[in-house]
Amino acid sequence: MLTLDTFEEAAAKVREVTLKTELVESPHFSAQTGNKVFFKPENMQRTGAYKVRGAYYKISTLTDEERARGLITASAGNHAQGVAFAASRCGVKSVVVMPTTTPLIKVERTKHYGAEVVLHGDVYDEACEKALQLAEEEGYTFIHPFNDPAVATGQGTIAMEIVQELPLVDTILVPIGGGGLATGVSTLAKLLNPHIKVIGVEPANAACMKASLKAGHVVKLPHVSTIADGTAVQQPGDKIFPYIQENIDDIITIDDDELIVAFLDMVENHKMVVENSGLLTVAALKHLPAENKKVVAILSGGNMDVITMSSVIQHGLIMRDRVFTVSVLLPDRPGELVRVASIIAENSGNVIRLDHNQFVSTNRNAAVELRVTIEAFGTDHKHQIVNALQSGGFKPKLIQAHL
Which residues are known catalytic residues? 51, 300
What does each C-alpha distance from 289 to 245, 280, 284 come to in angstroms? 23, 17, 11
CB 276 within 8 Å of CB 228:
yes
Q: Is the dihedral of CA 270, 303, 179, 125 positive or negative?
A: positive
CB 34 within 8 Å of CB 18:
no
Q: Determine the angle formed by the axes of helices 306-319 and 256-270, rounding to 10 degrees.
A: 100
Report d(CA 54, CA 205) in Å as an integer.
26
User: Any alpha helices (H) in 15-103, and if so which ranges?
Assistant: 27-33, 51-60, 64-68, 78-90
CB 151 within 8 Å of CB 73:
no
CB 26 within 8 Å of CB 270:
yes
The angle subtended at Cα 279 by Cα 275 and Cα 280, nearest 5°, is: 130
Q: Is the dihedral of CA 151, 153, 155, 157 positive or negative?
A: negative
Instruction: Kindly compute the dihedral angle of the four CA atoms of residues 188, 180, 147, 126, in this order, to the nearest 10 degrees.
Output: 180
Report d(CA 146, CA 165) in Å as an integer.
26
CA 225 to chain centre: 14
- AA identity, residue 266: M
CB 261 within 8 Å of CB 238:
no
How far separated are the first and last CA of the chain, in Å rounded? 52
Neighbour tally for 203: CB within 10 Å: 30
Q: Determine the angle formed by the axes of helices 104-112 and 78-90, rounding to 10 degrees.
A: 10
Report d(CA 340, CA 368) in Å as an integer.
13
What does each C-alpha distance from 396 to 152, 282, 327 come to in angstroms? 56, 36, 6
